[in-house]
Amino acid sequence: MDAYSAYAYSTAAWLSLQALPLFVSPKLMVTMLSPDARTPTDLEIYLSRTLSLTVLTLALLNILLSGALPLSSPVNEAEHSPYKGPAAFISTTFHITSLIYVYLNYMATGSVPFMLAMIGNGFLGCFGLWCLLFGGDDSGKSRVSGWPFRNEEERKAKKERMARKHL
């Protein structure tokens, strides 16, 4: 499993963890979030379940677009999904903006669930940034500079290529 697949599955798990209580028990969630004790309206229940289905759809789309779950039957390791970078970028942006929003709410209320949401979104935001920066394919290994260590074998091969080119 590559880094993008691990990121896609962990993002889907985090989003599912947030969406399932909204879908299973929207009355309980709306009642817990309401400042006064009242029964939730039908519109609040509808919006809670719709939000839950939207978040679950986002989780599934993230898995499919990242290539973690192949859509074709013959799986070829050389092929990769062209959408894994954009999917990781969009979901990382989502996690970072959610982190900022939850942080502002945590600073206003000091509530423990907001702190837990900050930890989850912060971890996934950092993991997504890591995937975008370092989690790519290994085809670019020959183009790295080698700093601070020298790659003597590559230097010798390059010198030989240059000598052959000048002949």
Would you list the domain boundaries of the chain? 3-69+83-135
| C-alpha to C-alpha distance for 130 and 82, rounded to whole angstroms | 18
Task: Please state, rounded to an integer, the average pLDDT across all residues of the chain.
Answer: 83
pLDDT on residue 55: 93
Distance linking the first and last C-alpha atoms of the chain: 46
Amino acid identity for residue 46 in this structure: Y
Q: Are 67 and 4 in contact (CB under 8 A)?
A: yes
Q: Are 50 and 97 in contact (CB under 8 A)?
A: no
pTM above 0.85, yes or no: no
Note the pLDDT tens digit of each residue in 46-94.
988 999 999 999 999 999 888 888 776 555 554 577 888 889 999 999 9
| C-alpha to C-alpha distance for 54 and 49, rounded to whole angstroms | 9
